[in-house]
Amino acid sequence: MTFDPNDFKRAMGQFASGVTVVTSKHGETPIGIAASSFTSLSLDPPLVLVSLNKNCSRITSSPKVDSSRSMSCLRGSLRSACALLA
């Protein structure tokens, strides 16, 4: 997969505010969380920052996650899907 910095900048520029879903796996168990604190951090390397409450039960009960992670920015019509991870 190739990375296009212009695509990254365009995507980050279109995300004014909203909810993101961050997912990973612990072993074979998928884990995920909804987060509203999300911002682009760097273009090279491409990084985003998601801030989570340290008292969140999904974080405190989860052991160290695998290095692979995924993040999705959701449109309003997917609110019910996001509620599953809130």
Q: What's the rounded mean pLDDT across residues 10-31?
A: 77
* Residue 61, pLDDT score: 54
The CATH code for residues 5-83 is 2.30.110.10
Contact 32, 52 (CB under 8 A): no
pTM above 0.85, yes or no: no
**Is the previous residue joined to 45 through a cis bond, with omega within 30 degrees of 0?**
yes
Q: Which two tokens stand for residue 78?
A: 């997917």
Q: Please write the tens of the pLDDT for every residue from 24-56.
A: 777 787 777 877 778 888 988 888 888 777 776
On the 0-12 / 13-18 / 19+ scale of CB atoms within 10 A, 21 is buried
Q: Are 17 and 39 in contact (CB under 8 A)?
A: no
In terms of pLDDT, which residue wins out, 10 or 56?
A: 10
